[in-house]
């Protein structure tokens, strides 16, 4: 009986810590970087070409324009992604666009709200891309999980940046 109480106490403690995570941590943020051996004008143009995005994010099945503006800010896209055999439909909105300097994207993927702020800088013909990403959720239970998956999110975005680098440099 004592063993059962100890086990239940441990399980209760784990559950309380998990649920407290959602109360204490509202947003999961991280930074990734990559250096591309091309001028910023070429890198920025390729990065923002919707027709080429499948070359570095292979999970994208389709990308369609919902709303398109002249200055890019405010553009909205519908993206269908295949993740582990499951299709996920998300919207992507361009919330900031400064030519050859910065692009900020907002993704709404069901229970995940993600903001990607890409900053482009050039030095000696090498373009550095810095991604400042943040994730949050409208769902309390998903918000409890995000901090524990921060490494996974960061690794995935770093892989996409590395894929982009390889695509641009070939």
**Using 50, 70 and 90 to split pLDDT, how confident is the model at 131?**
very high
Taking the model in full, what pTM does it have?
A: 0.87
pLDDT for 115: 97
CB-count burial class (<10 Å; 0-12, 13-18, 19+) for 66: exposed
Q: How far apart are alpha carbons 122 and 150 in whole angstroms? A: 28
pLDDT for 136: 92
pLDDT surpassing 80 at residue 23: no
> Is CATH 3.30.450.20 correct for 2-169?
no
pLDDT for 108: 94
pLDDT for 70: 84
Query: What is the residue extent of each domain of the chain?
Result: 2-169
- Residues 41-65 have a mean pLDDT of 92
**Residue 98 DSSP class:** E
pLDDT surpassing 90 at residue 138: no
More confident residue, 133 or 9: 133
């Amino acid at each position: 009986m004592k063993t059962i109480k100890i086990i239940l106490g441990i399980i209760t403690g784990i559950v309380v810590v998990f649920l407290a995570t959602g109360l204490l941590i509202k947003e999961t943020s991280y930074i990734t970087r990559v250096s591309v051996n091309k001028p910023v004008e070429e890198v920025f143009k390729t990065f923002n070409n919707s027709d080429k995005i499948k070359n570095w994010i292979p999970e994208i099945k389709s990308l369609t324009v919902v709303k398109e503006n002249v200055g890019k800010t405010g553009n909205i896209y519908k993206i269908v992604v295949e993740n582990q055999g499951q299709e996920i439909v998300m919207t992507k909105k361009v919330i900031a666009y400064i030519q050859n300097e910065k692009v900020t994207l907002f993704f709404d993927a069901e229970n995940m709200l993600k903001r990607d702020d890409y900053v482009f800088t050039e030095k000696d013909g090498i373009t550095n891309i810095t991604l400042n990403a943040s994730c949050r959720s409208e769902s309390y239970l998903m918000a409890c999980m995000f901090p524990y998956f921060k490494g996974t999110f960061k690794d995935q975005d770093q892989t996409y940046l590395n894929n982009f680098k390889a695509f641009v440099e070939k």
